[in-house]
A = this chain, B = another copy of it.
Amino acid sequence: MVSGKTHSISELAKEFGVTTRTIRFYEEKGLVSPVREGQKRLYSNADRVRIKLILRGKRIGMTLRECVDFIDMYDPEHNNTEQLHSLIDNVKSRREHLLQQKNDIDAMLAGLDEVQDLCEASLASTSPDKKTHQNPDKD
């Protein structure tokens, strides 16, 4: 089968918790290219996946441009050797960036643990004995 299930714009909007305006905006920017049935947009499953990847990227602070660049890595239109090497470099630096972000997140999670401990300790004792406060200077 060449054409799988398609979706309306409001279906996708509901599924992903965004507005239709957002999805049209993504099209305006060339991030998705739904087919038309008369006037209306029909979204393929590939479009769905692209939107999912875009939103994933946004959740970790990527710009739309970065999301596109990222997604474009997946499609194998990079034939010649030079482009493949440049793509690998790109992958490398992206990976480093992501690992940095993981470190940042872990540091924050540790901070949250600390805050929560302090809170609970403070709640446990009606007259709370002051614990010494560790300041968050690591990294």
Contacts and interface: CB of A to CB of B under 8 A. Distances in A.
Contacts of A58: 61
A35 interface: no
Copy number of this protein in the oligomer?
2
Contacts of A52: 137
Interface string A39-53: 000000000010011
A3 interface: no
A102 interface: yes
Interface of A: 49, 52-53, 56-62, 70, 73-74, 76, 78, 81, 84-85, 87-88, 91, 94-95, 98-102, 104-105, 107-109, 111-112, 115-116, 118-120, 122-123, 133, 135-137, 139
